[in-house]
């Protein structure tokens, strides 16, 4: 087939580069799968730890502000520093999680759905359809104030003029934290979930711990119920869909027994940990899409996994790695599709779709990274390196006609 002219973009994507192995994959995805076919336009922000240190994390805030300006961002995984990272990178501060900072600025809900490929079967055999996690991306422990408390001190919540005792540490020291959420953010979280469930024609499940947290978690339950009754009940009924609330414990038990095919709304922390469980159960942390949808209309696409540190140290020693780039590829394809939708560029949307098809075809042809090789039921499977996988996917993309 004759080589086509490169596809053009009308407006830039906000590109947020990151750390370690995912930074390496990031560059390869662009080099092999996008730039040969698209005249890629991005506004680039380097969220790698060195640049965050150099700018005292100002770069993270600037990147989030750029997403507000341009509407669509795509983010590489980044290190959230801990004590070891402070030493490793000689940091002057233990910077907060970039995702936390960005989500606090954009607000919204993170939707995470497994990427299904033939030959990769879920660990839970009844899960025949995808389970999409809708993670509230604002507040709770991700925007907390916490401190250690010395023996003898006592802690209280000070709200307006009221003082609510928390604990008197008279016999022993300990820890204390304050968390918050807002009615506005919870309401937009609820709306995002109902709207997404309707648009994808799936039931919505939500669970919280309102038996124990009778005010905080109860507020989430009540707001969901109010939003449902006032705005979505009729549309759900018409579409034959169900909104279902239960205690988080009960929801988890039902999720395991289910066949999938619904949206699972999760509070921030529940969504953080449960999306790792769900992704792993569907095959791999790297077989999951993740998109932050802000109530203001901004979106940010990312991979749900981390920077894959262990693989990066191998890579640095010059050893080939077999790191799965699928979530990173789908972050780019998702962002390109969104850009195409906003700018009315159907050919760009079709290309992004083809990127995904070519990626899945590579796996279904039996070429896959180690994480999938370990669980694939394909007979002619072969484990390939990170780079080989991308080159193979690029060949298949060319074969589709790009």
> Min. distance of Cβ 322 from ligand NAP in angstroms?
7
Strand partners, 114: 288
* Region 97-156 residues binding ligand NAP, contact defined as CB under 6 A: 99
Nearer to ligand NAP, 57 or 302 (CB): 302
List the single partner that 272 binds among Mg ion, ligand NAP, none, CB under 5 to 8 Å by kind.
Mg ion
Contact segment (CB under 5 A) with Mg ion among 68-76, 101-109, 276-284, 295-303 equals: 276-284
Choosing from 188, 324, 362, 376, the residue that interacts with ligand NAP (CB under 6 A) is 324
Query: E strands along 229-298, which residues?
Result: 243-247, 262-266, 288-293
> Min. distance of Cβ 28 from ligand NAP in angstroms?
13
361 is an interface residue for ligand NAP by CB under 6 A: no
57 is an interface residue for Mg ion by CB under 5 A: no
What is the signed CA dihedral for 116, 121, 124, 126, rounded to 10 degrees? 80
Residue pair 294/107 in contact by the 8 Å Cβ criterion: yes
Contact segment (CB under 5 A) with Mg ion among 80-88, 114-122, 273-281, 348-356 equals: 273-281
- Residue keyed to tokens 């953010």: 185
Among candidate residues 278, 298, 390, the one with its CA nearest the CA of residue 75: 298
Nearer to ligand NAP, 103 or 191 (CB): 103
> Min. distance of Cβ 271 from Mg ion in angstroms?
8
> Min. distance of Cβ 339 from ligand NAP in angstroms?
21
Choosing from 59, 67, 79, 197, the residue that interacts with ligand NAP (CB under 6 A) is 79
Nearer to Mg ion, 65 or 276 (CB): 276
In the stretch 367-386, what mask flags binding to ligand NAP with x, by CB under 6 A?
Answer: ----x---------------
Kind of pairing between the strands at 13-17 and 72-75: parallel
Measured in Å, how far apart are the chain's first and last C-alpha atoms? Answer: 9
Residue pair 63/47 in contact by the 8 Å Cβ criterion: yes
* Region 264-293 residues binding ligand NAP, contact defined as CB under 6 A: 285-286
Q: Quote the tokens at residue 399.
A: 């074969």
- Give the helix ranges, DSSP H, for 36-107: 49-54, 58-70, 83-88, 98-106
CA distances from 366 to 117, 193, 198, 363 (A): 11, 36, 35, 5
Measured from the Cβ of residue 179, the count of other Cβ atoms closer than 10 Å reads 15
Element housing 273 (H / E): helix 268-281
> Min. distance of Cβ 239 from Mg ion in angstroms?
31
* Region 10-49 residues binding Mg ion, contact defined as CB under 5 A: none
List the single partner that 371 binds among ligand NAP, Mg ion, none, CB under 5 to 8 Å by kind.
ligand NAP
Check the CA dihedral 125-193-78-81 and report its sign.
Answer: negative
276 is an interface residue for Mg ion by CB under 5 A: yes
CA distances from 229 to 194, 220, 223, 232, 235 (A): 11, 14, 10, 6, 10
Nearer to ligand NAP, 202 or 328 (CB): 328
> Min. distance of Cβ 344 from ligand NAP in angstroms?
31
Nearer to Mg ion, 112 or 311 (CB): 112
Nearer to Mg ion, 302 or 392 (CB): 302
Among candidate residues 392, 395, 189, 374, the one with its CA nearest the CA of residue 286: 374
* 173/150 Cα distance (integer angstroms): 4
* Region 298-317 residues binding ligand NAP, contact defined as CB under 6 A: 302, 305-310
Nearer to ligand NAP, 20 or 107 (CB): 20
Which residues fall within 8 angstroms of residue 288, CB to CB, at 6 or more apart?
Answer: 112, 113, 114, 115, 275, 278, 279, 282, 303, 304, 305, 327
* 104/88 Cα distance (integer angstroms): 27
Give the binding-site size for ligand NAP (rule: CB under 6 A).
17
> Min. distance of Cβ 103 from ligand NAP in angstroms?
11
> Min. distance of Cβ 78 from ligand NAP in angstroms?
4
Positions in the binding site for ligand NAP (CB under 6 A): 77-80, 99, 285-286, 302, 305-310, 323-324, 371
Positions in the binding site for Mg ion (CB under 5 A): 272, 276
């Amino acid at each position: 087939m004759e080589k086509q002219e490169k596809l053009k973009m009308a407006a830039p994507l906000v590109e947020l580069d990151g750390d370690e192995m995912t930074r390496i994959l990031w560059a390869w995805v662009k080099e092999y799968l996008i730039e040969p076919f698209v005249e890629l336009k991005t506004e680039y922000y380097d969220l790698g730890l060195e640049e965050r240190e150099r700018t005292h994390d100002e770069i993270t805030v600037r990147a989030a502000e750029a997403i507000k300006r341009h509407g669509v961002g795509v983010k590489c995984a980044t290190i959230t520093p801990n004590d070891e990272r402070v030493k490793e990178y000689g940091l002057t501060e233990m910077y907060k999680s970039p995702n936390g900072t960005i989500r606090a600025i954009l607000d919204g809900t993170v939707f995470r759905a497994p990427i299904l490929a033939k030959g990769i079967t879920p660990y839970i055999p009844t899960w025949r359809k995808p389970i999409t996690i809708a993670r509230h991306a604002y507040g709770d422990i991700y925007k907390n104030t916490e401190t250690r408390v010395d023996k003898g001190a006592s802690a209280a919540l000070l709200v307006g003029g009221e003082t609510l005792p928390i604990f008197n540490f008279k016999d022993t020291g300990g820890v204390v934290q304050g968390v918050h959420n807002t009615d506005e953010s919870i309401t937009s979280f609820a709306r995002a979930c109902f709207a997404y469930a309707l648009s994808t024609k799936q039931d919505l499940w939500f669970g919280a711990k309102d038996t124990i947290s009778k005010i905080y978690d109860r507020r989430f339950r009540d707001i969901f119920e109010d939003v449902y009754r006032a705005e979505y009940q009729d549309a759900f009924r018409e579409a034959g869909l169900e909104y279902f609330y239960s205690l988080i414990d009960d929801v988890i038990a039902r999720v395991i027994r289910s066949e999938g095919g619904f949206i699972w709304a999760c509070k921030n922390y529940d969504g953080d940990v449960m999306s790792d469980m769900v992704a792993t159960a569907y095959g791999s942390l790297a077989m999951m899409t993740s998109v932050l949808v802000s109530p203001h209309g901004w979106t940010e696409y990312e991979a749900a996994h981390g920077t894959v540190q262990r693989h990066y140290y191998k890579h640095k020693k010059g050893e080939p790695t077999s790191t799965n780039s699928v979530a990173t590829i789908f972050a780019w394809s998702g962002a390109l599709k969104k850009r195409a939708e906003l700018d009315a560029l159907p050919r760009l949307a079709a290309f992004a779709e083809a990127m995904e098809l070519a990626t899945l075809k590579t796996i279904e042809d039996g070429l896959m990274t180690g994480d999938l090789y370990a669980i694939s039921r394909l007979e002619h499977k072969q484990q390939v390196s990170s780079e080989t996988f991308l080159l193979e996917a690029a060949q298949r993309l060319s074969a589709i006609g790009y």
